[in-house]
Structure 1
Amino acid sequence: MTVSQPLQSGCPFLNPQRLFRDLAEARTLAEAPFSDTFESRVVTRYDEIIQALHDPATFSSQPAVGTVPSPWREQLEGKVPSRGTLLGLDNPDHDRLRASVNTFFMPRKLARYESWIREQANLLVDDFVADGHTKLKLSFALPLPLKVIAHVVGLDSDRSEWIGAALGFFMGPRDIYHPGTPDEKAKLLLDLHDYILEVMEERKHDRRDDLISHIWNERDSGAVEMTDFEMLSMFPGLMLAGHETSSNLICMGLSHLLADPERYAGAQRDDDSRAEALEEIFRYESAITGMKRLVTRDVTLGGTELKAGETVFLTYAAGSRDATKFGNPDDIDFNRNWAVPHLGFGQGIHACLGAPLARLLLRIELAVLHDRLPDLRLGAPYEELEYTVVSEGRGMVDLPLEWKPVSVTERTQAAVVDRVSAAGIPVTVKSRRLVTADVVELTLETQASGPLDWEPGAHVDLELPDGSLRQYSLCGQSGESELRIAVLKEDRGRGGSKLIHEQVSVGDGLSIRGPRNHFRLKPAQFLLFVAGGIGITPLLPMIDEAERSGTPWRLLFLGRDRKRMPYVEDLVRSYPSNIYVWPSIERGRYNLDEIWQKLPAEEAYVYACGPDELLAGLEDSANRHEADFKLVVERFTARKLEHQPNRRIDVTLGRSGKTLTVEDDESVLDVLNREGANILSTCREGTCGTCEVRVLDGVPEHRDSVLSLEERLANQTMMTCVSRCRGRSLVLDL
């Protein structure tokens, strides 16, 4: 092993005031130097950090979270998860567990919390606005993020101070804001985990608009497999990281903005200017200095030969000031182009899960402080402000502020948005009948005030007696107070269909959520319906709609045995010239390629529902015949497939009409940002939802892990960092 080169300064990476000078000096060295502060080699160049972040198999996250020392390790064992955060997990466990929360933290979904967060911010300001001065860390920057993350998780936000004290155990001596011995904080931590378990049990049966309920929904749907103990492990680490980084960001950000009154005024013009300013602050001085990684195999990173077993410290803060990637990196520039994304929230599979929430929270904080505190200014020269000790996180001990005192009564309180219940609509099983030997039809009578409005292709989530959720297509008539579903008994399924067949009886009370629809009919000159067995159910109302509108149509009904194909005889009697029945035990396997060869040349669409094997075959066949855009499928489970090889595609900007070419070795995101689109991104691996863009035309090939199945099938948005196109072109709302 080559001995790493030392830095020229005496004690590098020790003084927080000169941290960036130390990092800049390290970046000029041929090899990554070793740091006693981080107990690792320090990687400071952007490209090398990116290489490591996107190679988690070589650079393990295991050392990112330290182990609890004795005697507290023994006290917490079996009660507090030892790996109580996603940051320290490698795959496959990391991706499996993170999948339970990805969709919850998408920016557009978090927007529903904006009014509640704004009101909590105003309530905190009420306590000090008349004083004309405050130390922001304790009065605002710490309590607000704690309240927000507690509320979002599903805990009582009024207990946020207690929650923060309990989480302080993990910070050790760095927790200077919550008094108490380690033993006292360990007791608080155990109490906190007991409290979370109580809320988890409540939400298992009484869902709300919070993260705990969301994970239960994901578990019940079968989208995620996790134990209760693994679920418990998700929340404390998330709350610790969520409030600590946000509190540091608002203090550091304001310190830089207020150091230059013109800069502060430029940032505070409106919400857009605040968002732009914050993005540059995240680059200039992130609350995350970096993260440690364990090298799992001999590898060369930049000019440094690393041996298996070594550790490296990936300094995100240094990468975001790499002059080879960012012009004038040590200056704050609100007009910076984000063709190269900063590393303020990391990147790769461990990119900050809460980045969208942090962006929302800090934008609200800036707005409230600007609106409520006139003539806001620093209460001490910037040079005298104290930073916390150098570590994985970066922050300020406190931020003294001054302003012209204002009466509390001068503000108009914003409306507090109550937590919305996710409870379903009560229904009663009015009747049931066997359609075939293994298909039962249920007629559900709703207790809604009027008929439920839905369109052909809609489905409902049915909550079963055991609390699990299953999706079933509606096969009755819209506009009625009664809903009809048909359920195939699947002995190898997850138990829902078996429960319905064996336990659900006439008169039973259940509940539904919905109806929802991602399988709507498009205007067409001809419609071909392809059903595979029980897949006929959503097509029945579509056939009625086609008849009503006068649209020419045909049905290809595939199945193994005619006796097990539901509704087949009714359909043949009603539409003898429109139905083509194909039982495979009589006629063999149907050649799906014939569909595209026989489809009329005019505007025609194929609507298909059935087992995954059929739908996958149709998609592959449509792709071979370049007819992807003509196929619309209904799925309730994601297809496990290998993505198409990257190929050149065209992306049209819908607002300007300009068309860009994305080569096979480029991402849509990079091409768009080179043209000045300035789409924000964090993970660049399709896990955070930050780079989501609305799709106006074309069929995306979704490669992300953040969109729900329903959102993927709707094809209304895409993650531009990883997703591409199933055809040759896309039109995006840009």
Structure 2
Amino acid sequence: MSSQQPQGACPFSDPRHLFQDLAATRATDGFPYSQVFDSRVVSRYDDITVALHDPDTFSSTATVPEMPPPFREQFAGRVPSRGTLIGLDNPDHDRLRAAVNTFFMPRRLARYEPWIREQAHRLVDGFVEQGNTDLKLSFARPLPLRVIAHVVGLDVERADWIGAALGFFLGPGDIYHSGTPEEKAQLLLDLHDYVLEVMAERKHDRRDDLISHVWDMRDAGTVEMSDFEMLSLFPGLMLAGHDTSSNLICTGLSHLLADPARYAAAQQDDTSRAAALEELFRYESAITGMKRLVTRDTTLGGVPLKAGEQVFLAYASGSRDTSRFSHPDELDLDRSWAVPHLGFGQGVHACIGAPLARLLLRVELDVLHERLPDLRLAVPYEALEYTMVSEARGMVALPLAWTPVPVTERTAVRAVEVAAAEAVPVTVAARRALTTDVVELTLTVDQPERLPTWEPGAHIDLELPDGALRQYSLCGRPGAAELRIAVLREETGRGGSVTVHDQVQAGDRLRIRGPRNHFRLRPADSLVFVAGGIGITPLLAMIEEAERRGTDWRLVYLGRSRERMAYVDDLVTRHGSRVETWPSQELGRFDLAGLWAELPDGAYVYACGPEELLSGLEDAARRVGRESQLVVERFAARPATYEPNRPFEVVLARSGTVVTVAEDDTMLDAVNRVGANVLSTCREGTCGTCEVHVLDGIPEHRDSVLGLEERLANQTVMTCVSRCRGRRLVLDI
């Protein structure tokens, strides 16, 4: 990027001179206006991040321009006018993004790696014997398009057609597909009709894809949206998902191959590839920046802005700001990640597909390294041509050369797609009323060998006749030929329990998923089980297991009245004085603090029941410093009322390093300052990039990406926003 800008040339008119123009803008007071971006340019890191984390003041509506006539009229009612999340403000943005957030978490996307790797090999098979290719056309464009089509749930064999249809959104920037704007508009209409068809299919035939995932989220009541709003999610995600990934691999490879020693260092293993990619994302991302509309008079970085002005947040400039990065115009593959780059943005609009892009590019680098020996640029680096300066950043072509090798037979990698466990058909073998508002179902599995073994504390997902999924604890005996659940009728719930009570009968055919267990019984000197109402169900199997182990135990069973306490007579008959029943209508409130006062040091308390009970137990345990001895199972997430920030300790288990997180600090920043190098993107708990495994302690989850069960399990934490409910967290880093 060392070419000289012609004297008097308009800034940002030469793509080879982009970073010099951005550096000059950073050195300028205020935010100068740019004709190219038709906005005032915000170029300094701190100013950009402030704006990104203040979406109320800096609206995203400017990011996606309105559809011009006559297409606006032609698309009305068929193509959503704001067909991408990045152009939406709240509350609609967070509401709709909640339907896809959890799908794009890094650990969940990992299941696609074998499939992506096989597709990459197939494309390389097509040109490996030639010894040269334009990687942009033969690999970098087709692979991301096939991947995003597969992930969304569309026919991969139609990927080229999908790409041509999405080319409408690129306007003159689409240099890879021929056709008039009118022809591309018709393709786009046809694409939306096709997506609607697949949506209708997946509503009744769920698979491991994004469309099915959104239906699952809608059925579970996690998100409310119309079918038309659901349709709006997919084309925009596909456009961003393939175009940016295509540009990233080309620009990244061009910089690596410009120095053979650098390429060799990056290609040592998966760890070196991941580290190199982060530095490449910082050095030259596929996004120059994005526009924002100022909604009210404000001041940013000491510069006054008026409502109605547009600003261009130059991510590429922020990632090379000398106040935040040392030697920012140099590629340093060993750079620390303590200061996050802006290659994928930050805030609520941070790139939702960043985890998929990281996975895809790591696989691409690996496959190209494996298959193309002596890989090199086919032309001098200075001869590579960039696309015109715009919000996007990319290369027109990437000519590469290598030593030709014959195509050899490879053992095809079977894609392992392991979303949720496959649905297992069951029969309702028996139904009985335990109380006036609790019914027990006994379920038998058609093929018992398909049902995994389970331990006390496990639950299943029951697929109801209307397709909705509901979670119920198993209250039978592990290893038995049938499964038992008990369901409390809740008139004010989401309707699942009412369906079970009013519609499900003996002989009915249903389906289940699981079992899964986030409430396992730990070895202990003694155990106290605390049940509130229907919370008795997971504790029944635990009591049987404690008996089998010979562990000392007792049960405190709370309820409004004895008549409404399921299984109470059987428990008292079998276990006598070990069972303490506490009907509140007769005895008043139970003394939760007293329970902790009597608890031996080596004992654990296992509790399940309504939120009032569990919160009370947690608060009482915290007051006496015994929260580590309490294990709870919730039917719903703890209400999002957070305690005031207070300091806590984080132990990095692999090194033994202990870090104090101050009340005004984040866990992410604290651990990264001591070299943990935890990746991050959004820094607002919406993308899942900074997820870390929890070995001990109870996180206070403040993210919006973990599902209900994952929050209740407390096995991972989003380090950018979440904190600790106790004094210490032990993390697997």
TM-score normalised by the chain length of structure 2: 0.97
Cα deviation, residue 360, structure 1: 0.8
Give CA-to-partner distance per residue, 1:363-399, whole Å, 9 cap, x none: 1111111111112111221112111111111101111
Matches within 5 A, 1:202-281: 202-281=201-280
- 1:373 equivalent in alignment to 2:376: no
SS in 1 for 2:607: strand
Q: Which amino acid aligns with 1:447?
A: D
Q: 1:419 to 1:518 in 2, by over 3 A?
A: closer
CA distance in 1: counterparts of 2:594 and 2:87, whole angstroms: 51
Residue 477 of structure 1: aligned partner: 477
1:412 equivalenced with 2:406 (yes/no): no
Q: Which residue of 2 aligns with 1:3?
A: none
Aligned amino acid, residue 453 of structure 1: T
Q: Give the drift of 1:85.
A: 1.0
Aligned ranges 1:461-472 → 2 under 5 Å: 461-472=461-472
- Structure 1 residue 547 displacement after superposition: 1.6
Partner of 2:3: none
Aligned to 1:591: 591
Give structure 1 stretches of 5+ with no counterpart: 1-6
Distance across 1 between alignment mates of 2:134 and 2:444: 59
Q: Shift of residue 420 of structure 1?
A: 5.6
C-alpha separation in 1, matches of 2:256 and 2:416: 34
4+ residue runs over 4 A deviation: 418-422
Q: Look up the match of 2:659.
A: 660
Q: Tell me which residue corresponds to 1:285.
A: 284
Partner of 2:638: 639
Whole-Å Cα distance in 1 between the matches of residues 36 and 691 of structure 2? 38
Deviating more after overlay: 469-478 vs 651-660:
651-660
| d(CA) in 2 for partners of 1:319, 1:86 | 23
- Residues in 2 aligned to 1:677 and 1:538: alpha-carbon distance in whole angstroms: 38
- 8 A Cα contact 2:609 2:635, kept in partner: no
| Amino acid in the other structure paired with 2:701 | H
Aligned partner of 1:182 in structure 2 is: 181
Q: Give the secondary structure class of the aligned counterpart of 2:325.
A: coil
Q: Is the 8 A contact 2:84 2:236 kept in 1?
A: yes
In structure 2, what is the equivalent of residue 718 of structure 1?
717
Counterpart Cα distance in 1 of 2:233 and 2:618: 37
Q: 1:207–1:423: 8 Å Cα contact kept in structure 2?
A: no
1:1-39 per-residue CA deviation (whole Å, 9 max, x = no partner) reads: xxxxxx996411222111111110010111011111111
Displacement of 1:136 in angstroms is 1.2
Instruction: Describe the SS at the equivalent of 1:553.
Output: strand
- How far is the alpha carbon of 1:423 from its aligned partner? 3.7
Report the alpha carbon displacement of residue 238 of structure 1 after superposing the two structures with TM.
0.5
Deviation by residue 1:447-499 (Cα, 9 ceiling, x = unmatched): 12336411111000000011000000001111012000011111111111111
Residue 497 (structure 2) pairs with residue 497 (structure 1): yes
Deviating more after overlay: 514-523 vs 572-581: 572-581
Local SS of the residue matching 1:730: strand
Give me the whole-angstrom Cα distance separating, in 2, the residues matched to 1:641 and 1:404.
Answer: 59
The Cα offsets for residues 290-319 of structure 1, whole Å up to 9 and x where unpaired, read as 111111121111131011111111110000
RMSD: 1.6
Counterpart code for 1:593: A
What letter matches 2:413 in structure 1?
A
Distance 1:583 1:595 in 2: 17
Counting only pairs closer than 5 Å after superposition, residues 285-434 of structure 1 correspond to structure 2 as 285-409=284-408, 412-417=410-415, 419=417, 423-434=422-433
- Check if 1:510 corresponds to 2:538: no
- List gaps (5 residues or longer) in structure 2: 1-5
- Partner-residue secondary structure (3-state), 1:396: coil
Shifted more, 591-600 versus 214-223: the winner is 591-600
Q: Which amino acid aligns with 1:415?
A: V
Instruction: Give the residue type in structure 1 aligned to 2:398.
Output: L
* Cα 1:93–1:103 shift into 2, 3 Å: same
Deviations 1:30-62 (A, max 9, x none): 101111111111100001111111111111111
2 CA distance for matches of 1:179 and 1:359? Answer: 30
Look up the SS of the partner of 2:176 in the other structure: coil
Aligned to 2:111: 112
User: For 1:438 and 1:499, how far apart are their aligned partners in 2?
Assistant: 13
1:572 aligns with 2:572: yes
Does the CA-based 8 Å contact 1:571-1:579 persist in structure 2?
yes
Q: For the residues of structure 2 that align with 1:413 and 1:433, how far apart are their CA atoms? A: 53
Report if aligned partners of 2:319, 2:325 keep a CA contact under 8 Å in 1: yes
User: How many residues end up aligned between the 2 structures?
Assistant: 726
**In 2, Cα distance between the equivalents of 1:551 and 1:420?**
37
Q: 1:452 to 1:404 in 2, by over 3 A?
A: closer
Paired residue secondary structure (2:589): coil
Following superposition, the deviation at residue 617 of structure 1 comes to 2.8
| Aligned residue in 2 for 1:620 | 619
Using the TM superposition, name which of 603-612 and 483-492 deviates more: 603-612
CA distance in 2, matches of 1:721, 1:341: 11
8 A Cα contact 2:637 2:711, kept in partner: no
Q: CA deviation at 1:611?
A: 1.9
Q: In the alignment, what sits opposite 1:12?
A: 11
Q: Specify the code of the residue in structure 2 equivalent to 1:597.
A: A
Q: How many angstroms apart in 1 are the aligned matches of 2:497 and 2:64?
A: 42
Q: Hey, what's the Cα distance between the residues in 1 that align with 2:598 and 2:293?
A: 58
1:4 aligned partner:
none
Query: One-letter code of the match for 2:258?
Result: A
Which residue does 1:545 correspond to in 2? 545
3-state SS, counterpart of residue 593 of structure 1: helix
TM-score normalised to structure 1 length: 0.96
Indicate conservation of the 8 Å contact 2:111/2:418, yes or no. Answer: no
Conserved? CA contact 1:652–1:660, under 8 Å? yes
Which residue number in structure 2 is paired with residue 150 of structure 1? 149
For 1:125 and 1:240, the matched residues in 2 are separated by 23
SS at match of 2:171: helix
Checking the alignment, whether the CA contact within 8 Å between 1:452 and 1:481 is kept in structure 2 is: no
CA deviations 1:42-90 (Å, max 9, x no partner) are 1000011111111111111111111111111111111111111110111
Distance 1:731 1:503 in 2: 46
Q: Describe how 1:89-104 pairs up with structure 2 within 5 A.
A: 89-104=88-103
Q: Contact (CA 8 Å) 1:118, 1:414: kept in 2 or not?
A: no
Q: For residues 567-596 of structure 1, what are the alpha-carbon distances to aligned partners after superposition, in whole Å with 9 as ceiling and x for unaligned? A: 112222222212222222222233332222
Tell whether the 8 Å contact from 1:444 to 1:483 is kept in structure 2 after alignment.
yes
Matched residues in 2 for 1:90 and 1:603: separation?
51
Alignment pair present for 1:611 and 2:610: yes
* Secondary structure of 2:566's aligned partner: coil
1:228-265, Cα deviation, whole Å (9 max, x unpaired): 22211111110000000000001111111111111111
Deviations 1:646-666 (A, max 9, x none): 211111121222212221111
Cα distance in 1 for residues equivalent to 2:234 and 2:211? 9
Which residue of structure 2 aligns with residue 554 of structure 1? 554
Q: What are the superposed Cα offsets for residues 512-536 of structure 1, whole Å, 9 maximum, x if unpaired?
A: 0000000111111222211111111
Tell me the amino acid that sits aligned with residue 477 of structure 1.
R
More displaced, 285-294 or 76-85? Answer: 76-85
Q: How much identity, in percent, do the aligned residues show?
A: 70
Q: 1:535 matched to which residue of 2?
A: 535
Q: Matches of 1:299 and 1:528 in 2, distance apart?
A: 57
- 1:617–1:223 Cα change, 3 Å: farther
- 1:452 and 1:152 map into 2 onto residues whose CA distance is 27
**Amino acid corresponding to residue 106 of structure 2 in structure 1:** P
- Displacement of 1:135 in angstroms is 1.0
Tell me, yes or no, if the aligned pair for 2:111 and 2:417 is still in contact at 8 Å.
no
